[in-house]
A and B are shown apart, each in its own frame.
Chain A
Amino acid sequence: MIARIAEQCFWLGRYLERAESTARVLQMTGQLALDAELPPEQCWMPALAIFGERGTFAALHGEQAEADGEAVQRFLTWEEGSGSSLVNTLFAARDNARSIREVVSRECWEVTNELYLWLGGEMGKAEYTHSRYAFYLHIRRMVQLCLGLSGSTMLHDTPLDFIRLGVVLERSGQTARLLDVHHHVFTGMNPGHLVVQTALWLSLLRAGSGFEPFMKSHSGRVTGDAVAAFLLLEARFPRSVRYCLEAANRYLRLLAAPEGQGQLGQESLARLAPLLDQLRPEALVGPEANLHALLTRMVEGTSELCQLIAREYFGKAMPLGTQVMGG
């Protein structure tokens, strides 16, 4: 397929996934703030940290505003200067979909476009004002509808492989950062009431859409280590880092040139292999185990992989975490 289109498919997937993730984290943080009895900054700071937006936010509103849930939500929803804000992410997703309108299915495009029009119009603003929970839920559902439709209304061929590659790589990075930030915050707190602790781990699971799957696989026994292991390693859970990277590995194998047709795609595969290698249960136990270091390697490794994919398939070098638009 055309290299430019492959790139736009990849970014369509990434932006859709990022929007869903932002909406989900904000929705869950809002719930957590209601029942976790935490100081507000411990609720809302992680939401900014997950998306790497603490610096931008502080520059605009000051660090103390991290305790202001409304300011954080407004920033991550409407801020034009933030690469993770919903308004920017959904604009970028829609812009990519529009540019490759002949590649994405009609259903998929219409959902993306409708969501974009809704968010930019009166209806989105009214929902944001009157029912925050419903606002985030609407965004999440529409994004999930679009991703679901892409799989059920498009040819299962290269364009869809690139969309899904974008989704899983974005997702593995999100889960790794989510886990890193929260684990750091929660374990660093004074050992307090067990019920509060449990509520925190559950909220972390909810922020990663993993509450029910975790309960099913752990029969309801919630500990910090079990939650971390689940979000990092659980091969059956579609948001775990391992699941996502294994999926990326499958797509990259599909996309790489068949043997005997040059080396195209081999470098990306070679970069992914050591990341997958580190995702073993032993990595989390014993005196040498360091969850934070491992997660950092995952986040950095994934973004390096994305750059390599850009070079191998899209014919360009790309700055970290951004798409070269209109190039």
Chain B
Amino acid sequence: MRQAEDAGLFKGYSIIPGAFDELMGPQGEPRPDFLRLLELLGSRSPDEFTRIQALAERALLNQGVTFSVYSDRRGTERIFPFCLIPRLVSARDWAHLERGLEQRVRALSAFLDDIYGEQRLLAERPELQEIILGTSLYLPHLRGVRPPGGVRIHIAGIDLIRDGQGTFQVLEDNLRTPSGVSYVMESRILSKRVLPEVLEQARVRRVDHYPAKLAETLRATSPEDPDRSTVVVLTPGPYNSAYFEHSFLARTMGVELVHAADLYVEDARVFVRTTRGPRRVHVIYRRIDDAFLDPESFRPDSLLGVRGLMRAWAAGNVTLANAPGNGVADDKAVYAFVPEFIRYYLGEDPVLAQVPTFVCAREEDRRYVLEHLEELVVKTVDEAGGYGMLMGPQSTREEREDFRQRILAEPRRYIAQPRIELSTCPTWDAASRQVVSRRVDLRPYILTSPQGSWVLPGGLSRVALRAGSYVVNSSQGGGSKDTWVQKETA
């Protein structure tokens, strides 16, 4: 077997001790599945790589594939940093993930149906009441509402990491408005443009049919005949940091992108204002939070939202994707119980592992957490993007004391997990012009229609671009990679 040193670009590549590397084995040798591809990539010179990386970045900027950094009128827009060295997933690993993700979404859907319906689980397990009903993301006034088409989690983004042994573990469920899929599509376009022969050799499954699948999924849950249904994407507007994605989805699905002010509700039906008068809307892929959907239902002070939208939804006249109220199932404390949901609702063993989690609302967990703050990662249940976190092993005494007080004051808002040694992936470092080892996670996207779930073969691989960092969020210096899922060998 050829060693990595033979290949120019990967010369001197070293693995972080204890971490599982996605592309290289423990001795720095390419994993057998990816041998051919790594030889091809490795034959590129640093000069050539610098050139194609710059080319790709320029293309993204000109195309406006950006996110807004702040929201003033001439706010800065930046491209999402990315690395052209793809992250690969073998066909065997993917088959396992696909099964596990499908199962997980099925269990989470059953959980949501139950919690907004009979609440069988809570009757049998009263000790879970505080955890489940204690989150502000549970919306009690929606109890008894069955969404049109019966689907609640049309689009799920489930974050996975890989531990030191290479075992995939679920880190987080995103069941409200998971973002990032447009970067998956755009990264692939770049890969095709700058690494065509590598991509071809790697036998990679395509991702570009996602928008068509999404449109089909959304239509399939419409209260009207799918062929006669009007689907729209609802955005908070061009100053939202994810606006590129919103317009990308509307454009690639061939549907209209609307602002809340374009819509109104009459007679529990939703209409869009057009130059030829009102037109009925049947399905709304909304990219705004529950709390801003309808001032009548949630925040009377808010000028955002569409007055009466929730009434129209409850009457079964419009589909909202994802359904309002899903937040209860992706709350970080509720997450701890998903393996139990899988057993309870499906009578199956969980296919995917997940990270052991201490729920501070439980007394014995809380005691353990407070005694082991130096070893644990503490997270606030209702904050995203890597905010509201304590990275125990890297924390100062003051930070730990601050979190101790916060946990004691509001235990329900905190969970803690052991720090997992995230897997790494060879990543181009422009400053040193070499390939370095950086930690990654993976967010696959799962679409669910009344006919069942479909997993996009690929996903957003987020990478911590700073040496030593575990934080992959774009808001905290993370970047992305294209994820190449290999085809089954015939």
Contact = CB atoms under 8 A, between A and B. Distances in A.
B275 A255 contact: yes
Contact of A98 (B62, B64, B273, B276): B64
A264 B277 contact: yes
A101 interface: yes
Interface stretch (B256-264, B348-356, B443-451): B256-264
B330 to A, nearest CB: 28
A4 B62 contact: no
Interface in B247-299: 247-248, 250-251, 256-259, 261-262, 272-277
A2 B277 contact: no
A5 B272 CA distance: 12
A101 B64 contact: yes
Contacts of B274: 1-3
B238 to A, nearest CB: 5
A1 B274 CA distance: 5
Instruction: Tell me the interface secondary structure of chain B in the complex.
Output: mixed
B78 to A, nearest CB: 12
Interface in A100-134: 100-102, 106, 109-110, 113-114, 117
A2 B61 contact: no
A243 interface: no
B273 A3 contact: yes
B275 A101 contact: no
Instruction: Tell me the interface secondary structure of chain A in the complex.
Output: helix
A99 B74 contact: no
A264 B256 contact: no
B248 to A, nearest CB: 8
Nearest to A327: B261
Interface residues of B, number: 26
B201 interface: no
A109 B64 contact: yes
Contact of A102 (B64, B257, B272): B257
Contacts of B243: 98
Contacts of A106: 63
A80 to B, nearest CB: 9
B64 A257 contact: no
B421 to A, nearest CB: 40
Contact of A101 (B62, B74, B247, B276): B247
Interface in A264-297: 264
A326 B259 CA distance: 11
A315 B276 CA distance: 11
Residue of A6, A99, A264 most packed against chain B (CB within 10 A): A99
Given A102-B250, A264-B276, A313-B275, A113 B262 contact: no
B62 A110 contact: yes
Contact of A158 (B62, B237, B272, B275): B275
Interface in B14-53: none
Contact of A4 (B64, B248, B250, B259): B259
A166 B74 CA distance: 24
A91 interface: yes
Interface of A: 1-6, 91, 95, 98-102, 106, 109-110, 113-114, 117, 158, 255, 257, 261-262, 264, 313-315, 326-327
22 contacts: A1-B256, A2-B262, A2-B272, A2-B275, A3-B262, A3-B274, A4-B262, A95-B238, A98-B64, A98-B243, A101-B244, A101-B247, A101-B248, A102-B250, A102-B256, A109-B63, A109-B64, A110-B62, A113-B62, A117-B62, A264-B276, A315-B273
Interface of B: 61-64, 74, 237-239, 243-244, 247-248, 250-251, 256-259, 261-262, 272-277
